[in-house]
């Protein structure tokens, strides 16, 4: 069974229908990159996957759990989904290490010792071993985002959602964050990445999904989507961004 199944997903805000019937399946270990113009509903789509938004219509099934089923323990499903946003949302009053250990100790009841060991391993993975005791405000944007990724990974998620994780960063910070994401992908993480980094999508994505006007307009392997776009809408978008 696919890790993520989305069927006929609709979402409206008042009269504004933002998602107009999306269908998507993401398999275990698959990396899907979502591209598309601003306002096309990409963030809304990601938020529907972990119940931060409730769909107006349609179905979302994560690791076999139907989010619309009242019997589903949504907190348990959320523990399986790590989310990284454009703005890092670190807790400013907590050290880097405390940011990473908070959820595992509070929500998963891991011991402090166990959580700290995991946190230090993750900091090594994201190249920030020396920042465990630093406060967020002393970090660069790229370092903050790598801490945010480590914090999400500390919950041992089965799926990682990224919403434009490098869009708020200075250009020289982008590479380090993308490198961490590449490593995650190579390690077999199932990932959905909304991004404007077309180079990353070309290199890392198993599949690229082009969204516009609340619908998936085109989807395929990176080489097909980027080299042979079918729809005028995608051709136009690629001309503007590449």
The residues that touch ligand ADP, with contacts defined as CB under 6 A, are 13, 18, 36, 38-44
Select the residue interacting with Mg ion from 40, 43, 118, 145 (CB under 5 A).
43
Q: Which are the contacts of 159, defined by CB distance < 8 A and separation ≥ 6?
A: 3, 4, 26, 62, 63, 80, 81, 82, 189, 190, 191, 192
217 binds Mg ion (CB under 5 A): no
- Cβ count near 211 (within 10 Å): 23
Beta bridge partner(s), residue 82: 160
Q: Closest approach of Cβ 218 to ligand ADP, in Å?
A: 15
Contact flags string 135-174 toward Mg ion, x per CB under 5 A: ----------------------------------------
Cα(233)–Cα(28) distance, rounded to whole angstroms? 30
41, interface contact from ligand ADP, Mg ion, none, CB < 5-8 Å by kind: ligand ADP
**Tokens 């945010």 belong to residue:** 148
Stretch that binds Mg ion, among 7-15, 39-47, 170-178, 234-242 (CB under 5 A): 39-47
Q: Closest approach of Cβ 137 to Mg ion, in Å?
A: 25
Q: Strand, coil or helix: what is 20?
A: strand
The percent helix, strand, coil of the chain (3-state, each to 5) is 40, 25, 35
Residue nearer to ligand ADP on the CB measure, 43 or 118: 43
Q: Closest approach of Cβ 33 to Mg ion, in Å?
A: 14
Q: Closest approach of Cβ 27 to ligand ADP, in Å?
A: 24
Stretch that binds Mg ion, among 37-45, 73-81, 109-117, 166-174 (CB under 5 A): 37-45
Q: Which of 26, 18, 22 is nearest to 9 (CA)?
A: 22
Query: Contact positions toward Mg ion, by CB under 5 A?
Result: 42-43
């Amino acid at each position: 069974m696919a890790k993520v199944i989305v069927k006929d997903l609709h979402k409206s805000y008042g009269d504004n229908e933002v998602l107009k019937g999306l269908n998507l399946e993401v398999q275990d270990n698959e990396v899907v990159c979502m591209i598309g113009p601003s306002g096309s509903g990409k963030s809304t789509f990601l938020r529907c996957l972990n119940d931060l938004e409730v769909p107006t219509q349609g179905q979302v099934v994560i690791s076999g759990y139907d989010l619309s089923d009242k019997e589903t323990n949504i907190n348990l499903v959320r523990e399986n989904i790590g989310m990284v946003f454009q703005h890092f949302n670190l807790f400013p009053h907590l050290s880097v290490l405390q940011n990473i250990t908070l959820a595992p100790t509070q929500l998963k009841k891991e011991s402090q010792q166990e959580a700290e060991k995991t946190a230090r391993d993750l900091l090594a993975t994201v190249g920030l071993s020396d920042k465990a005791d630093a406060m967020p405000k002393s970090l660069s944007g790229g370092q903050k985002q790598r801490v945010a990724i480590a914090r999400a990974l500390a919950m041992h998620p089965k799926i990682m959602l990224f919403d434009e994780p490098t869009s708020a960063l200075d250009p020289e910070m982008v590479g380090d964050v993308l490198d961490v994401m590449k490593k995650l992908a190579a390690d077999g993480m199932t990932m959905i990445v909304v991004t404007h980094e077309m180079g990353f999508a070309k290199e890392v994505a198993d599949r690229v999904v082009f969204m516009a006007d609340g619908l998936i307009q085109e989807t395929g392997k990176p080489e097909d989507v980027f080299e042979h776009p079918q729809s005028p809408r995608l051709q136009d978008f690629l001309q503007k961004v590449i």
